[in-house]
Structure 1
Amino acid sequence: MLLTKANYFANELGHEADVKMSWISRFKVRYCIGKIQKAGETAGVNMQSVNEWTEGKLKDILNRYEASDIYNADETGLFWQMLPEKSLGFIGKEYHGGKQAKTRITVLVAANMDGSDKLPLFVIGKSKNPRAYKNVKKLPVKYTNNKKAWMTGVLFESWLNKLNSKRRLSGRKIAMVVDNCTAHPQVELTNV
């Protein structure tokens, strides 16, 4: 389309030369045009509300805590059977992809602001008793399961309640900063 339009404008402006793909390549480099991948939902965010929250209310709340008492938690999906989309290979040999495996687990990661305390990972899978854990006596993570391997409000609240009652906090009061997600219900706790 770009090549067709460039030829149209060249003819309209009185240029006789036929525009080639090399011109398009140089045009893209000149104006920093390339392949991109859209991510996130920034189009749906009201930036004025975000600025009011971060510069007002959030700042007031966090000013009451030391950096070691401000925690952040977020979930990420780990597609542990999925192969990378791009890789290295031999030129001239054909490589065919199949349907990508979408087997996933969800991992909740949390740490404090100064990095001195990283909470144990909270992993959510589909299997109640995964075969891989058959002879494992103790996992280095907290593991639970549900049908879709997603975080739910009940699981998140249970995780927060356990954190609230742990000796790890030893009477400290902490601020837990999380994103605006339906799985993150607002709860009132004594230490969190």
Structure 2
Amino acid sequence: MTYLDTQGNKDTSLDINPRTLGTKSKQLTQFHQGENLNTTIISTSIENSFLIRDQTQGQIDIINVNHKNDIQNISTDELRQNIIIVLNHGNHDLNPNNIEKIVENFHGRDIQFMSDDNLKDDIKSCIDKLDRDNSAHDIELSEAHSSHQENELDTINYNDKKKPTANHSNTLSQKNIPLSKRWNLINQRKRAIGKTEKSTES
């Protein structure tokens, strides 16, 4: 629980530390849902969550946890591809076990850790970099898709231009023979076969 002033900021006139009510362990708050489809920010401080939301103009998903140990328990269903983890002063001391569990839980995601020492500037530069990287990735995918479509068209055109095979030519030529002539050819073949059988018997 944090006491705020009329502007929604922490009330500095009150000498009261923020307090967490209820169970601390393995809890999270979906602090804000933004429109950006690429990035989620995880914050270990409710005050930082307010500041992050203002700094990102409400475009980014923000999840708030009470303690660094809760980060490793967040379901990946809640997360975007890029994850920024903002640690406040009380949670800076991530040990190797914390980091290993976080990386394992967020397997396949791009993870960045950040302290809140220079939060405004760091958040802005980090988001700008991710936006540039995502734009470059989208361009690469678009070019690859266009190239694939061109290859498919080239294959279709090549197949259309291929000459008919010998069997195909014979089939076409047979189709062009008048029905009466084909009937005569069949009878001639039958007579030839009959003569061959008679000569064999004699």
Which of structures 1 and 2 has the bigger CA Rg? Answer: 2
* Higher-helix-fraction structure: 2
- Classify the TM-score, shorter chain: under 0.3
Using structure 1 for the length normalisation, give the TM-score.
0.26
Using structure 2 for the length normalisation, give the TM-score.
0.25
